[in-house]
């Protein structure tokens, strides 16, 4: 079993303020519950997770109804700083699941599938990808950022398995990657201009990306192919919020 950290410090951006007055995305209500509680419940129900730390606005998060194994912790100013705080609080060197608070469609089945695939690979950082075909088959109205590679067209997930030892030594490059995670061309630029050219002409391969990211971050990275779009459908614009509210309402009825 793994411990898990949920990153819940993201502020409610201007795109979503018209739909929810909550100051933090994690607290936006869906079916009468803060969005972050859906993520915590899925992790807890998976059977693959022991302790769960929700890291963000501490006083507000303490008002949420979480599963018994959840603790709340004040977050940092950046995503990487918040991850460091969570890792330090867990106090061990075993791999940790890290999830964002804005993936309320996450299911226990999706978590278990990701963890099972990770267990077959020796790496420091595991990153899920979902094909555009699978994404649009399950959620036809979803609008995601896709990357066209030699093997197909994919979007990234928002749950990761991380070796705590790599966090401090990967801070600088990791922050740049996180800041530009919605901009595939800029990401390729970070990897090198040769990658930009290959990306533009559609010949860039997954193994090349995996190898270059591993080299830059000084770690062993692994891409995990997931069949669960729920790992990647995050809420950062009105259409996303409408989609997840509709999907969750349909499951409740």
Domain-by-domain residue ranges, the chain?
A: 2-252
Global pTM value: 0.88
- 């995503």: which residue's tokens? 79
Is the pLDDT at 175 greater than 70, yes or no? no
Element (H or E) spanning 11, and its range?
none
> Is there a contact between 95 and 3 (Cβ–Cβ < 8 Å)?
no
CATH of domain 2-252: 3.90.550.10
- 């860039």: which residue's tokens? 204
107-128: per-residue pLDDT in tens? 999 999 999 999 999 998 898 9
Cβ-in-10-Å burial (0-12, 13-18, 19+) of 203 comes to exposed
206-251: per-residue pLDDT in tens? 888 777 777 777 778 888 999 999 999 999 889 999 999 999 988 7
> Is there a contact between 76 and 82 (Cβ–Cβ < 8 Å)?
yes
């Amino acid at each position: 079993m793994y411990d898990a950290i949920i990153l819940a410090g993201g502020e409610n951006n201007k795109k979503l303020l018209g739909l929810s007055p909550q100051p933090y995305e994690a607290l936006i209500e869906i079916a009468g519950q803060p969005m972050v509680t859906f993520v915590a419940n899925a992790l807890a129900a998976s059977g693959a997770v022991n302790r769960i730390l929700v890291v963000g606005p501490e006083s507000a998060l303490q008002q949420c109804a979480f599963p018994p194994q959840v603790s709340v912790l004040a977050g940092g100013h950046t995503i990487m700083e918040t991850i460091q705080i969570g890792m330090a609080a867990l106090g061990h060197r075993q791999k940790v699941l890290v999830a964002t608070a804005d993936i309320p469609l996450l299911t226990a089945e999706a978590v278990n599938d990701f963890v099972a695939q990770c267990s077959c690979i020796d790496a420091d950082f595991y990153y899920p990808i979902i094909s555009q075909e699978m994404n649009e088959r399950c959620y036809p109205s979803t609008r995601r950022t896709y990357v066209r590679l030699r093997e197909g067209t994919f979007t990234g997930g928002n749950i990761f398995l991380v070796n705590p030892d790599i966090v401090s030594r990967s801070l600088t490059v990791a922050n740049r990657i996180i800041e530009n995670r919605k901009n595939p061309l800029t990401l390729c630029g970070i990897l090198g201009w040769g990658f930009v050219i290959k990306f533009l002409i559609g010949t860039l391969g997954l193994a090349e990306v995996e190898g270059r990211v591993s080299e830059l971050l000084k770690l062993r990275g692994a891409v995990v192919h997931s069949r669960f779009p729920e790992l990647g459908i995050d809420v950062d614009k009105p259409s996303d919020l409408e989609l997840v509210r509709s999907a969750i309402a349909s499951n409740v009825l």
